[in-house]
């Protein structure tokens, strides 16, 4: 269970007009602007749901994920993940969490994938039998077969992403954050990843929060969608509701684009 109540986060960003004169001026006095990344964000996600978290670039999606995983502390508001405050109880809280950032890697670049997996086993203190069982299951479902012994740098993006997802699930987390897990993947890999996420949610009741710009991911997986823009929650509903709002016969992609325009985000 994830609860966010009135969460706000403001970043201080250094600003400077272009040009030499302004650059010299900035050496002596620095100007900052406040950027509101999240404003009064509230939602509740019960166990076992797959939620699509969508919005244009810069809407505050990553900020939300980072607050939920204890990396950032918000300026205002309350938030609990499995009854714990992530930034206060970080270690305990994140041990029940799996995270995949599609644009970053958690595998060690120049050692075999299996070594990274063993390290994660020790980091999360997974008992050996559980680890072996999980590993076998993930190996089958994600089709990891023969590349666990290869160094991560030699894998294709599709292979690597499947390993990344497996790496996030070795400690059987209750909650999985997926930040653009299908970015850059070919059709076959995309389908495999989606199918796996669906099975994981169905069989193990894992709560999944998926941020993505790929509306087919949303179509295929999410029963509920949170739409955010400029740091605010704009819409909370099912895909059908979103498509109904946008008008007749539009695809999910077009409906969402239409809503972005309508909300002016």
Q: Judged by CB, which is closer to other proteins: 124, or 263?
A: 124
In the complex, the smallest distance separating the C-beta of residue 146 from other proteins, rounded to whole angstroms, is 21
Of 70 and 158, which has the nearer Cβ to other proteins? 70
Q: How far is the CB of 240 from other proteins (least distance, A)?
A: 27
User: How far is CA 18 from each of CA 15, 25, 26, 27, 256, rounded to the nearest angstrom?
Assistant: 10, 11, 11, 13, 35
Dihedral through CA 202, CA 57, CA 252, CA 216, nearest 10? -50
Closer of 1 and 119 to other proteins (Cβ)? 119
**Is residue 208 within 8 Å of 50, Cβ to Cβ?**
yes
Between 92 and 261, whose beta carbon lies closer to other proteins? 92
Residue 26 Cβ vs other proteins, minimum distance, rounded to whole Å: 12
Comparison of 123 and 244: residue with beta carbon closer to other proteins: 123
- Identify the residue whose tokens are 């069982």: 133
* Residue 97 Cβ vs other proteins, minimum distance, rounded to whole Å: 7
In the sheet that holds 2-15, the strands lie side by side as: 31-45, 2-15, 76-81
Alpha-carbon gap, residue 84 to 259, rounded angstroms: 34
CB of 124 to other proteins, least distance (A): 7
Contact 67, 240 (CB under 8 A): no
| End-to-end Cα distance, the chain | 29
Nearer to other proteins among residue 90 and residue 224 (C-beta):
90
In the bound state with other proteins, the residue whose beta carbon lies nearer, of 69 and 255, is: 69
What pairs with residue 51 in β-bridges? 209, 224
Are 53 and 226 within 8 A, CB to CB?
Answer: yes
Beta strand pairing call for 224-229 and 207-211: unpaired
- Residue 226 in contact with residue 196, Cβ under 8 Å? no
CB of 115 vs other proteins, minimal distance in Å:
5
Instruction: Catalog residues that contact other proteins under the rule CB under 8 A.
Output: 11, 57, 61-62, 66, 69-73, 90-92, 94-95, 97, 99, 101, 103-106, 108, 110-111, 115-116, 118-119, 122-125, 179-180
C-beta separation of 170 from 133 below 8 A = no
| CB of residue 263 to other proteins, shortest distance in Å | 20
């Amino acid at each position: 269970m994830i609860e966010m109540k009135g969460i706000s986060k403001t970043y201080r960003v250094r600003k400077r007009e272009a040009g030499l004169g302004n650059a010299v001026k900035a050496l002596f006095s620095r100007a900052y602007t406040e950027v509101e990344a999240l404003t009064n964000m509230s939602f509740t996600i019960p166990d076992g749901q797959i939620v699509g978290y969508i919005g244009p670039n810069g809407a505050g999606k990553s900020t939300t994920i980072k607050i939920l995983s204890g990396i950032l502390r918000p300026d205002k508001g309350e938030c609990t993940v499995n009854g714990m405050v992530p930034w206060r109880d970080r270690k305990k809280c994140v041990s029940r969490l799996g995270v995949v950032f599609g644009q970053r890697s958690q595998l060690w670049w120049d050692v075999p994938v299996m070594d990274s997996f063993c390290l994660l086993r020790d980091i999360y203190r997974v008992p050996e039998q559980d680890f072996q069982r999980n590993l076998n299951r993930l190996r089958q479902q994600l089709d990891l077969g023969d590349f666990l012994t290869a160094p991560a740098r030699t894998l294709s993006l599709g292979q690597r992403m499947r390993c990344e997802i497996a790496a996030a699930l070795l400690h059987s987390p209750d909650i999985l954050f997926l930040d653009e897990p299908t970015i850059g993947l070919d059709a076959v890999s995309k389908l495999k990843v989606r199918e796996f996420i669906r099975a994981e949610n169905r069989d193990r009741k894992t709560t999944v929060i998926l941020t993505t710009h790929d509306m087919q991911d949303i179509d295929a997986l999410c029963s509920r969608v949170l739409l955010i823009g400029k740091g605010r929650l704009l819409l909370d509903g099912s895909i059908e509701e979103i498509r109904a709002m946008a008008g007749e016969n539009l695809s999910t992609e077009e409906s969402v684009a239409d809503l972005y325009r309508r909300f002016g985000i």
